[in-house]
């Protein structure tokens, strides 16, 4: 048998997001947090500079983008390449691990975007039956 990486249920394997104290839960939150998924998604197409990224991820503040990038860099998903020129130029790109994660997030994003009509319908029905009470 091989013990590579099957689990996540109620198993006693090394990492399990469903367990309160598991570090994988923190990392999952970095990826799926409000800006994490969008940042990784934006970088999936290629390396981007700070302000390019900021324009692409519409609505993100400098503070949050910076914070998000730090967390993702620390987790080894994003690589930061600073050139000591003037004016400074900094490129962000996905690491191989980051690409894998981003690919999955993009899949999820596309799926959601493609089914928003269904979601909106469901919401309308929900609100109608509830509002009518």
Residues near its own copies (CB under 8 A): 4-10, 13-20, 23-25, 27-29, 31-34, 37-38, 41-42, 45, 56-59, 73-77, 97, 100-101, 104-123, 126-127
Structure tokens at 66: 């910076």
Compare residues 9 and 86 and give the one whose CB is closer to its own copies. Answer: 9
Tell me 9's DSSP state.
S
Shortest approach of DNA to residue 62 CB, angstroms? 4
Q: Residues in the site for DNA, rule: CB under 7 A?
A: 33-35, 49-52, 59-64, 66, 70, 80, 82, 87-90, 92
Shortest approach of its own copies to residue 87 CB, angstroms? 23
d(CA 32, CA 26): 10
Three-state DSSP class for 48? strand
d(CA 47, CA 55): 14
Q: Of all helices (H) and strands (E), which one includes residue 49?
A: strand 48-49
Shortest approach of its own copies to residue 98 CB, angstroms? 10
């Amino acid at each position: 048998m091989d013990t590579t990486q099957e689990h996540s249920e109620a198993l006693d394997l090394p990492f399990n997001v469903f367990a309160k104290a598991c570090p994988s839960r923190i990392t999952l939150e970095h990826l799926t947090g409000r800006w994490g998924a969008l940042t990784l998604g934006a970088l999936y197409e290629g390396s981007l500079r700070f302000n390019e990224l900021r324009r692409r991820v519409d609505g993100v503040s400098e503070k949050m983008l910076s914070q998000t990038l730090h967390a993702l860099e620390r987790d080894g998903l994003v690589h930061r390449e600073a050139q000591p020129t003037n004016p400074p130029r900094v490129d962000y790109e996905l690491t191989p691990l980051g690409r894998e994660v981003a690919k999955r997030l993009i899949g999820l994003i596309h799926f959601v975007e493609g089914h928003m009509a269904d979601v909106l319908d469901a919401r309308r029905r929900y609100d109608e039956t509830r509002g009518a009470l």
